[in-house]
Amino acid sequence: MALHPLHTLVEQLKAQPIIFIGGKGGVGKTTTAAALASYYASQQQKTLIVSTDPAHSLGDVLDTQLNNTKTAISPYLDAIELNPDVIVDAHFAQVEHTISAYANPDMMPKIREHLRLSKSAPGAQEAAMLEAMCQHLVCAADANSDKKYEHIIFDTAPTGHTLRLLVLPEMMGAWTDGLLAQQRRQAKLRSVANHLDSHNQTRGSGGQKNSDHDVQNPFAAKKSDRWEQAVAVLEKRKALFRQAGLLLHDRGQTAIVLVMTADVLPLAETKRAVSQLEDSKLPPAAIVVNQLIKPTQADAFWQHRAERQQQLLQDIESSFPNYSLYPIYLQKTDVRGTDALSTLLEASC
Ligand SMILES: Nc1ncnc2c1ncn2[C@@H]1O[C@H](COP(=O)(O)OP(=O)(O)OP(=O)(O)O)[C@@H](O)[C@H]1O
Ligand SMILES: [Mg+2]
């Protein structure tokens, strides 16, 4: 069987600072992500682990309470559990603040109600999560920043979600482009309309030219400020998605590691994930086969399961001939805490 010893996964990923761990629900993504992060930190390599899974099990696995901001787990390991509710609240508070600077105060209750409803609109949390993920990604990978990490590991929610997160920066970039193009068209139309308006007023006032159109129309200046603000926000977001997209597509920077177990359904889902990733030009760097049973340790019941896993391992190997496969063996209990997690890699060699 062409399984590589697990410690060579660490070697293989040494050059890629960004690692995304994906896979079907419950196969061991968080355990694998936390094991890699704990191992790198134990080697005194500055590591950040970010969970994008709203289910929040990273804190449980690391045996620490985590939140939406960085928590230092050890001198070399920081961890964050991105919280979509907190991110969405902060985002809409910012939007409300911006709007209140130019909106008629009487309109604010209605605007607040609209924003409150928008928070639960489909996609709002996903968009907020994506933006936060991109910010952490770009900031932690910035070679000029003192916040740079040697390893940035993303523990993600089950497969579909991860794949969307990986391809979304491109889609959001295109969407932002569309919005910017629309803003530019509207700005052009507005300037033509303003020009015509001032021309008419000049003629209407018996040839006396209106020297300052904004004095005649006090809302014009505010409106143009608003457009500029909106365009600046969109431009900034576009640059962020572009940078994140470049990092994600750079195989020298980002490695995607898929985790599966040697079972029929995870194999089927991993096949789909690999082909979708290949279609998006994001082929995975490696596949980890978790919860393997060592046949030598097994009694009759587990012996049967171990044999079944060995049969499936043959299918797995023939399904992914182009990818390196790494085993993690089933432990007697759940693996929690950085010491146990970092030795999981050694226990699986
Ligand atoms: N090699 C292993 N040995 C023993 N227990 C394991 C092993 N790998 C994972 N587990 C246990 O299996 C359960 C699921 O693991 P984990 O939370 O890492 O999966 P996940 O893929 O992140 O799940 P989710 O899709 O819900 O995020 C946990 O209780 C974990 O402790
Ligand atoms: Mg998980």
Q: Does the C-beta of 45 come closer than 6 Å to ligand 1?
A: no
State the sign of the Cα–Cα–Cα–Cα dihedral 58, 62, 64, 68. Answer: negative
Q: Does the C-beta of 31 come closer than 6 Å to ligand 1?
A: yes
Cα dist from 135 to 129, 239, 326, whole Å: 10, 11, 31
Q: Which of 6, 20, 30, 153 to mutate to test the pocket of ligand 1 (most atoms within 8 A of CB)?
A: 30
Nearest ligand to the C-alpha atom of residue 158: 1
Question: Going from the N-terminus, what domains does the chain have, and what CATH number goes with each?
Answer: 7-181+245-347 (3.40.50.300)
Largest CA distance in the chain: 103
Write out the two tokens for 152. Answer: 């940035």
Residue with the bigger pLDDT between 133 and 186: it is 133
Separation CA 256–CA 19 (nearest Å): 6
Q: Does the C-beta of 345 come closer than 6 Å to ligand 1?
A: no
* pLDDT confidence of residue 32: 96
Q: Does the C-beta of 290 come closer than 6 Å to ligand 1?
A: yes
pLDDT in tens, 325-347: 999 999 988 999 999 998 888 76
CB 234 within 8 A of CB 183: yes
Cα dist from 262 to 35, 68, 266, 285, 330, whole Å: 19, 34, 7, 19, 11
In degrees to the nearest 10, what's the CA dihedral of 343, 345, 347, 349?
-150
Separation CA 293–CA 336 (nearest Å): 19
Residue nearest to atom 15 of ligand 1 (CA): 28
C-alpha atoms less than 13 angstroms from C-alpha of 321 in its C-beta half-sphere:
1
pLDDT band at 204 (very low <50, low <70, confident <90, very high): low
Closest-lying ligand 1 atom to the alpha carbon of residue 27: 21
Q: How far is the CA of 283 from the centre of ligand 1 (A)?
A: 24
Q: Does the C-beta of 291 come closer than 6 Å to ligand 1?
A: yes
pLDDT in tens, 205-261: 544 444 444 444 555 555 666 667 767 777 888 888 888 888 888 999 999 999 999
Q: Does the C-beta of 212 come closer than 6 Å to ligand 1?
A: no
pLDDT in tens, 58-111: 999 999 999 999 999 999 999 999 998 898 898 888 778 877 776 788 888 988
pLDDT in tens, 295-312: 776 688 888 899 999 999
pLDDT in tens, 149-196: 999 999 988 765 566 666 666 666 676 677 677 767 777 777 777 777
